[in-house]
């Protein structure tokens, strides 16, 4: 059930060519660093890059998801060997605030795969899962109550999609876009259990020792969710220290093994590493990294951020 062909209201959104070129340059630089850090890994699947677009305008996201073709010069246009290949689109984007993600998802193409990576408020879970069909993963689940609310929201989304499909079939119109499929072909919403590996009171996440039981409870009580791995935001000091291994990443790997044993599964993912430490995280086995300022640059203050950014008249 793919919804790649369904778009939202992005037709009138302007993408500044200079800004797009700048973003594509920084994105490609990050991808090259990921590739270099992955060079020692044999047999591992490619590392997933989540472009963290928190507090950045929707036009920045569109520039990377639907990059404009590179300009062709008069001399190159007549050359049979010239290349004006459009850059590869970025599909995975992460947001920290539920309302911001919901607003951006309504503006941008449904082919985007959204990740919610911020501190998750219980009262926002149901709405988030219900209103964003292309929500691909919630990475910050650390209580059963939050998981249950996400499960309720996913259930309502699926019910609404079924109702809309039945109504449209009767009326002879196209069905609404369906939720993104999980890797196993089901309609379950992917989630990561967030683990507080550093023990800091300021950090969200379940204690490492409690992660296996939480993952088991989510599996048993939330049929519309799929626990696909674990996530951590480690201590800044450990990320910047000149060490052979980051203690937080080592801890999360051990927790992953314990959760896999509890659930009786293989292949649980590790989500660890951000702009300042993603290369070390990859060396230590991370399956996905979250990079924001390394791609988009410094963020504005939250009160100054504009979701719509540059939009043509009538849509601003």
What does pTM read for this prediction?
A: 0.87
Calpha distance 63→23 (Å, rounded): 8
Calpha distance 316→309 (Å, rounded): 8
Alpha carbon distances (Å) from 178 to 39, 236, 255: 37, 39, 34
pLDDT single digits (tens) 259-284? 999 999 999 999 999 999 999 999 99
Q: How confident is the model at residue 162 (pLDDT cuts 50, 70, 90)?
A: confident
DSSP state of 11: T
Q: For 83, list phi and psi in degrees, rounded to 5.
A: -130, 125
Calpha distance 193→229 (Å, rounded): 7
Calpha distance 217→145 (Å, rounded): 10
Question: CB of 113 within 8 A of CB of 15?
Answer: no
Nearest CA-CA partner of 124 in 93, 158, 96: 96
The whole-number pLDDT of residue 182 equals: 65
Alpha carbon distances (Å) from 111 to 28, 178, 187, 247, 289: 20, 11, 16, 36, 20
pLDDT single digits (tens) 231-247? 999 887 777 665 678 99
Calpha distance 216→99 (Å, rounded): 29
Which residues are bridge partners to 226 per DSSP?
190
Predicted confidence (pLDDT) at residue 312 exceeds the cutoff of 90: no
């Amino acid at each position: 059930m793919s919804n790649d062909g369904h778009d939202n209201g992005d037709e009138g959104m302007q993408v500044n060519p200079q800004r797009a070129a700048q973003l594509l340059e920084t994105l490609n630089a990050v991808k090259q660093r990921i590739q270099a850090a992955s060079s020692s890994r044999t047999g591992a699947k490619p590392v997933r890059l989540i472009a963290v677009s928190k507090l950045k305008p929707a036009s920045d996201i569109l520039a990377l998801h639907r990059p404009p073709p590179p300009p062709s010069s008069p001399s190159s246009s007549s050359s049979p060997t010239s290349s004006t290949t459009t850059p590869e689109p970025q599909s995975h984007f992460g947001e920290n605030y539920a309302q911001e993600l919901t607003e951006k998802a309504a503006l941008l193409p449904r082919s985007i795969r959204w990740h919610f990576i911020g501190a998750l408020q219980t009262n926002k879970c149901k709405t988030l899962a219900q209103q964003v069909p292309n929500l691909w993963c919630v990475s910050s689940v650390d209580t059963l109550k939050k998981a249950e609310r996400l499960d309720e929201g996913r259930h309502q989304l699926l019910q609404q999609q079924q109702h809309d499909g039945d109504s449209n079939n009767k009326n002879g119109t196209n069905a609404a876009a369906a939720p993104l499929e999980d890797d196993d072909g089901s309609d379950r919403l992917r989630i990561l259990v967030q683990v507080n590996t550093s023990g800091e009171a300021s950090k969200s996440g379940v204690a490492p020792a409690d992660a296996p039981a939480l993952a088991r409870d989510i599996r048993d009580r939330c049929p519309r969710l799929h626990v696909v791995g674990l996530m951590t935001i480690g201590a800044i000091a450990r990320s910047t220290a000149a060490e052979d291994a980051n203690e937080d990443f080592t801890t999360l790997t051990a927790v992953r093994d314990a959760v896999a044993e509890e659930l009786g599964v293989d292949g649980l993912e590790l989500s660890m590493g951000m702009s300042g430490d993603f290369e070390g995280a990859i060396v230590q086995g991370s399956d996905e990294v979250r990079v924001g300022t390394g791609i988009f640059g410094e963020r504005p203050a939250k009160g100054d951020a504009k979701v719509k950014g540059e939009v043509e008249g009538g849509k601003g």
